[in-house]
Amino acid sequence: MTDTQFSPAHGIAFIEGAYMPLAQASVPLTDRGFVRSDATYDVVHVWQGRFFRLDDHIERFEASMRGLRMSLPYSASEIASILMECVRRSGLRDSYVQMTCTRGIPPRGTRDPRLCQNRFYAFAQPFVWIANEEQRRDGLRMVVSSVQRIQPEAVDPRIKNFHWLDLTMGILEAYDHDATVAVLVDRDGNVTEGAGFNVFAVRNGVLATPDRGVFEGMTRRTVIEIAEESGIPCEVRQVSAGELRAADEIFITSTAGGIMPVTALDGHIYGDGKPGALTCRIQDTYWHRQDVGRFCTNVDYRDGAA
């Protein structure tokens, strides 16, 4: 079969009850998800043919929907089956799988969000990495952005959302400074998060990650659990930008890449410029956790794409 943008391996989407090549999938222009960022979503990954924490991701997605007063006609197990089917049809062994709920299309002549029928969109596409292979091996360069993270009192970051302009401006600022990623601070100068990731600082063998103004990432949760099980102290609390600068090691966490070391912040090189020992240890444990165990759900690829 020729490899075109419509090949299953480029992604499969589910919209309005139908599966289709991702390249063919589209959103109606008047869906408030598109014109008002009135949507929530979640991203789960499949690694070597297994979903990681699928039920936890769907549970978080449902909590986000409740937070925005949205609902869908699908149960958690129906959502799981749809995501599974997208991956099965794609044949992808390593995949980035997104589920989205938008407010939907307002009936003509009204802007009342309550009158919209919420819509569900899902897709599986090849695994997405925040950082390329070399950056993951050697460490990422980060900047502390001059753009502040949107205040949690305005948009609750615990509900995964499309309000990404602050995060996107951060990415642009990082590129301006020859860095890969930017971390945003709040109005008091405390560290929050960056575009698609949470942040950890390591100092004297103790991990610290912000408790407030952040999306409570699944990878962050996994790191907190790994730390607890491995006897590594981990504090979930306010972390100032100054404390981040003074860290021994820094790493970021995301479903799109796992645990990724940061070896430079605002041009300052950490340690010997190589990923720190504790970061590497946690990174190894994280990837081992994808192999087997209670967090893994096998994808059944039978009768899917070749």
Q: Does the protein bind ligand PLP through residue 120 (CB under 6 A)?
A: no
Chain position whose Cβ is nearest to ligand PLP: 217
Task: Identify which range of 75-83, 112-120, 250-258, 269-277 contacts ligand PLP by CB under 6 A.
Answer: 250-258
Q: Does the protein bind ligand PLP through residue 83 (CB under 6 A)?
A: no
In the list 197, 200, 251, 270, the residue contacting ligand PLP (rule: CB under 6 A) is: 197
Site string for ligand PLP, 138-167 (x = CB under 6 A): ------------------------------
Of 29, 31, 100, nearest in space to 61 by CA: 100
Looking at the Cβ atoms of 168 and 230, the one nearer to ligand PLP is 168
Task: Identify which range of 22-30, 231-239, 251-259, 272-280 contacts ligand PLP by CB under 6 A.
Answer: 251-259
Task: Identify which range of 63-71, 94-102, 195-203, 267-275 contacts ligand PLP by CB under 6 A.
Answer: 195-203
Of 278, 212, 202, 206, nearest in space to 244 by CA: 202
Q: Does the protein bind ligand PLP through residue 193 (CB under 6 A)?
A: yes
- Please say whether the beta carbons of 299 and 45 come within 8 A: no
- Please say whether the beta carbons of 165 and 173 come within 8 A: no
Write out the DSSP string of 40-100: EEEEEEEETTEEESHHHHHHHHHHHHHHTT---S--HHHHHHHHHHHHHHHT-SSEEEEEE
∠ CA(224), CA(156), CA(62), 5° rounding?
75
Q: Which helix (H) or strand (E) holds 230?
A: helix 218-230
In the list 50, 136, 141, 220, the residue contacting ligand PLP (rule: CB under 6 A) is: 220
CB count in 10 Å sphere of residue 261: 24
In the list 19, 61, 215, 251, the residue contacting ligand PLP (rule: CB under 6 A) is: 215
Task: Identify which range of 9-17, 23-31, 213-221, 282-290 contacts ligand PLP by CB under 6 A.
Answer: 213-221
In the list 39, 43, 101, 105, the residue contacting ligand PLP (rule: CB under 6 A) is: 43
Q: Distance between CA atoms of 299 and 45, rounded to whole angstroms?
A: 12
Residue 156 CB, shortest distance to ligand PLP, in Å, is 12
Q: Does the protein bind ligand PLP through residue 219 (CB under 6 A)?
A: yes
Task: Identify which range of 29-37, 64-72, 194-202, 280-288 contacts ligand PLP by CB under 6 A.
Answer: 194-202
Q: Does the protein bind ligand PLP through residue 100 (CB under 6 A)?
A: no
Of 205, 201, 210, 192, nearest in space to 270 by CA: 201
Q: Distance between CA atoms of 273 and 282, rounded to whole angstroms?
A: 18
- Please say whether the beta carbons of 179 and 141 come within 8 A: yes
Query: Bridge-partner residues for 102, per DSSP?
Result: 39, 119
- Amino acid 285 reads T
Residues that bind ligand PLP (CB under 6 A): 43, 193, 196-198, 215, 217-220, 253-255
